[in-house]
A and B are shown apart, each in its own frame.
Chain A
């Protein structure tokens, strides 16, 4: 499994990194930490590139290098990476220009083989989409600081599961909230939740929301099946049935100590683009981390 963690400034990236690495470790996944720098106008892109090379040569470093250095140190301090993971040693930070707007950073001193540090520049959705496409990432994890429109576009255009880390505290104890339904995305969310809960010994609250439709019976049966699956796997769980509007019900039910994991909407992409979808609305309105599985 491949996991992509997108980070911005040092101040807000700790929760994203922490939760991202917990998920990556539970799947024993290879991890890429990407810093996406500001979009540069085509008029100035070469001038900016020349200046950045100049700054790197003088160990002043282009924006992002220090953030990735800090991220690496943070992961080491939290024991997500161990000193013994270190591969090749370098005397100075090495920035390798790979392809369109993508640079790989190899840190001076020790650099873990388990983590890829990537610098990108440009429009964030475009860059993350390109990163996921070229490296087949399964989950993209990003902080909740961006605007709502950005999260909508991430879910719409990025070909991986997307987790928006909002209001996450590194030292708090969390449980998984798993709203299930009859979509393919929901099956994927169940898989991810099962693996993560098992690895981190977390409790899971499975819920389904009935809307007084013909599919209500099917939803009840899915809820039972999921409950059984988690019980058989030795995961502490509870199952509840809610009624009403799915978005409002889930948002109301999700507390600050929940990690919501749900499937992507099976709706037509064009309708989703213009009118949104239930999972997107839940991710926008919940005040806790939300993973939308694809």
Chain B
């Protein structure tokens, strides 16, 4: 057989094996475009849903780079007549996108300061009396910090602390393995749970606030969000503590808190002026989020944080540029833009109508079924699609379900933060997996318990606590 033919066909096969989901999504889109538009749905609305389906497939299976998915989303919106170019361009940039950009850059600036030793000293001083207390402290501090600064920032700072205390543990024995898993999961669950606490805890929260303001003119400020979400966070922390003790029973005898204490005590952090400046900048930004979020927007304030670090020379542009995931920023901007068009074209109303019609087929019950459906749907989707992307695409539908009741929108945003099931669901889960110490199976098994408990907590809080606010 001709060698060049073999080489070409082999390369094409390889391309196909890598890009099969892209080919599939294109073929699916072409097929759907050739069907007649469903009754009650406008042509642009139908096309926006076809793009939504394509984006779901492409983001889930990643056959092409994220920036390419982002550009494809924008191009298709115009080519398929979903919206004119100016409208697409205008919806591409808003405060939520600025927040994603600002918080990613701000996170890199903070992580670059090497605050983990300083934090370890605080945790040891407060919780160093016993090993179990230390792990509970690690989880609590991770949650509190992550609720303000985002999970991607805090996992990067806290994971080295967790790994330091489990260094050299023999993981072949069950007790040792469980001690490692208990430590790592304490940090990870702390940061995941924390991210629901305030709007700045995760981009999805800001995206939902933005949508609420745009689509139903309801404004939720920083404090209002905290009042709703923080009690859930506290209850989840308590549940997580017991779930982890149950899932990973261990004597903790291998954990080297004393050794780590000595190592931390030796390190000289007292005279590190950058730590002091970092603390001041972080405090300034968090206070600004509380006080000025309505005036300036959360995104602009997050950008200010990164800006101050750069102006003070505490982080270089090269470091920020190298470590910022520009692809994710572009993708969020594109999905938010698509989310706006799904709402504008009436596609979200149509979806909600169909959703309600489906619920009407269920046997009559006193329980409002749309809430659990919606919360579980967003929670599960976020586990396979990541939370912010889920909210940017499903957020308009969650609002449309009950436009005057913020509990639906809030529940969707909070449930999408329950990324306990898969390792692709959040940066924290992926970072934990990337250590090579946690398998996808273990993550899912423990996560299932945590996910179920979290949905129950969310339901109870929305039913009995939110109504009192």
User: Which A residues are closer than 8 A to B by beta carbons?
Assistant: 37-38, 40-52, 54-55, 57-58, 60, 62-64, 121, 126, 129, 153, 156-157, 266, 268-270, 273
Contacts and interface: CB of A to CB of B under 8 A. Distances in A.
B2 to A, nearest CB: 11
A40 B430 contact: yes
A121 B10 CA distance: 24
B180 interface: no
Contacts of A157: 10, 13-14, 17
A183 to B, nearest CB: 11
A181 to B, nearest CB: 15
Given A47-B427, A51-B434, A126 B18 contact: yes
Given A48-B431, A51-B159, 14 more contacts: A41-B424, A43-B66, A43-B430, A45-B325, A47-B155, A47-B430, A50-B111, A51-B155, A51-B434, A52-B434, A60-B160, A153-B17, A157-B13, A273-B13
A269 B430 contact: no
Contacts of A52: 434
B225 interface: no
Interface in B416-469: 424, 426-427, 430-431, 433-436
B328 interface: yes
A58 B160 contact: yes
Given A156-B13, A269-B9, A43 B386 contact: yes
Nearest to B159: A51
Nearest to B440: A38
A46 B160 contact: no
Nearest to A270: B9
Question: Is the interface on chain B under 10, 10 to 19, 20 to 34, or 35 or more residues?
Answer: 35 or more
B219 interface: no
Q: Which of B6, B164, B327, B434 has the most CB of A within 10 A?
A: B434
Contacts of B160: 54-55, 58, 60
A15 to B, nearest CB: 19
B323 A50 contact: yes
B424 A47 contact: no
Given A40-B430, A60-B163, A269-B10, A51 B18 contact: no
The 7 closest A-B pairs by CB, nearest first: A44-B430, A63-B436, A46-B325, A47-B427, A269-B10, A44-B427, A41-B424
Contacts of B65: 42
B328 A49 contact: no
B108 A50 contact: yes
Contacts of B155: 47, 51
A54 B13 contact: no
Contacts of A126: 18
Given A58-B160, A63-B436, A42 B327 contact: yes
B125 interface: no
Given A38-B436, A40-B434, A268-B9, A60 B327 contact: no
